[in-house]
Amino acid sequence: MDSSPAPAGTFADGAAAPLPALDAYGPSDELAAAYERDGVVLVRGLFSPDDLARIREELAAHMTRTVPHLTRDVHFEADGKTVRVANELQRYAPFFADLLASPRQTDLVESVTGWRPQPFYAEYFAKQPHGSVAQPHQDSAFEHVEPRQYVHVWVALDDITPDMGPLRLWLGSNRFGVFPHDRRDFGKFQHLSPETVAGFDFPVVEGIAEAGDLFLLDTALVHASTPNTSSRPRPSLALAYRGVGSVHHDS
């Protein structure tokens, strides 16, 4: 399948071309080459429908049994009830600790990046209908890992259509270090200024995906997301890995 980058654009542009999906069990050198060039690769076929059903089941259990008792590692929407982000899932459920350590993901990360990964954390995100945008940012600006061997295996838990606020990805932006995050949104989340983004000349693509697809994402890659204008949430699971022997510095 053609994995050439899409034409350049900016966050303010209309819909960008979708990032092409590659087979999880296809040639590993094709996956590695796409990742080295772009800083991200969309991988299809690693998670089965049964895998997704079990993940959803375990997430539902976490929300009903554990979240009501937490004073940390959970963030709600404005209604105070709907979970927007659930952090550090591996701390609370053996299932997510085992999933994070699974060779299915660690082997993929190693074959694509070239470095040996160790589990870091597991997080759940749900982009609700008619919620906020995610402004352009780099995750490496908030979690400092040396050497910079830090990736997300970002799993789509449902189909992601263009109206659901898919990821917007600036291909190759990870190769230029961390840009200044000198703006804050209404939730005090730091992001790149419009002036910085307007100066980019990187190809831009959208993360349209099928349920079970994953984005293997260099955390230094600039990314964002537009509003979810559909009637359905956009749920996802982020499995984070850093290099064996790397050092994590608290931000």
Chain segment 43-84, per-residue pLDDT in tens = 999 999 999 999 999 999 999 999 999 999 999 988 899 999
* Cα 184–Cα 85–Cα 44 angle in degrees, nearest 5: 105
Q: What is the pTM of this model?
A: 0.92
- Is residue 133 very low, low, confident or very high in pLDDT (cuts 50, 70, 90)? confident
48 located within any domain: yes
What pLDDT does residue 45 have? 97
Pick 1 or 91 by higher pLDDT: 91
pLDDT value of position 6: 37
- For residue 189, what pLDDT is reported? 86
Structural domain for 202, as ranges? 17-243
Quote the pLDDT of residue 13: 53
Residues whose CB is less than 8 angstroms from the CB of residue 26 and which lie 6 or more positions away in sequence, other chains included: none
Do the domain assignments include residue 9?
A: no
Which residue carries 């994070």 as its tokens?
100
Q: Which of 6, 13, 38, 18 is nearest to 206 (CA)?
A: 18
Looking at residue 188, what is its pLDDT? 78
Domain count, the chain: 1
Residue 130 lies inside a defined structural domain of this protein: yes
pLDDT at 3 over 50: no
- As a whole number, mean pLDDT of residues 161-190 equals 92
Distance CA 88, CA 67 (A): 12
In a domain, 147, yes or no: yes
Query: Has residue 11 been placed in a domain?
Result: no
Decide if 7 is inside a domain. no
- Average of per-residue pLDDT across 147-162: 97
Task: Report the pLDDT averaged over residues 184-200.
Answer: 89
Flag whether 192 is in a domain. Answer: yes
User: Is 50 among the domain residues?
Assistant: yes
CATH number for 186: 2.60.120.620
The residue written with tokens 């009903």 in the block is 64
Percent above pLDDT 70 for the chain: 93
